[in-house]
Amino acid sequence: MKGRIVATVVFSAIYGMIVYFMTDQPSDFSRFMIFLTMLVLTALVAQAQGLLIGASTDLEVSVFLGPATGIPILLFSGFFITLDTIPKYLQWLSYSSFTRYAFEGSMKAIYGSNRTAMNCSKRPSASASMPCLGDPQSVLNLLSISQYHFGIDFIVLILFFFVLRLLCFIVLRWRVRNST
């Protein structure tokens, strides 16, 4: 278990470093660390969810259940569909999506905290047909990301991680007791 956590943290951090600097984000250490933290926490929560699904069902069911549970989690994250466009009677489901908190935290790390205006003149000519949002605040507004501090996203992701790991432990313990 510990080896998987260490590997997940290391490989997520390497991936995050590559992505952050390849996308020409600001060279701000605190912004970079917040982004990296959100990325690592997202990987740990996703791993915990996968472990729970794998521990609770047989292989055949797990292969189906993994993607089936991933669809609503991604759908209600605010990434593909902004939370404002989801019908009011379904918006509460977004609070059960860990990817919502990961997406919001990552976007706040990149575009929040009084980031300076972005330079639209450095864009490649292929993307000239798309409008440039030079103001970082307008990016957050377009994505319907609230103004509260990213610490809430951080805390919720940690809670997701511990709850899913605890559930995984309970399921494994129950399955071992019932198999003997």
CA distance from start to end of the chain: 23
**Residue in this structure with the two tokens 């996703």, named with its chain if needed:** 46
Q: For residue 46, which of 30, 18, 29, 70 has the smallest C-alpha distance?
A: 70
Whole-model pTM: value is: 0.84
Q: For residue 120, which of 138, 103, 146, 107 has the smallest C-alpha distance?
A: 138
**Per-residue model confidence as pLDDT tens digits over 109-128:** 888 877 777 776 665 655 55
R_g (Cα) of the chain, nearest Å:
19
Per-residue tens of pLDDT for the chain, all 180 residues = 667 889 999 999 999 999 999 988 888 898 899 999 999 999 999 999 999 999 888 888 888 888 888 888 888 877 777 777 888 888 888 888 898 889 888 888 888 877 777 776 665 655 556 666 677 777 777 777 777 778 889 999 999 999 999 999 999 999 888 887
Q: What's the mean per-residue pLDDT of the chain? A: 84
Q: What residue spans define the domains of the chain?
A: 2-116+149-179
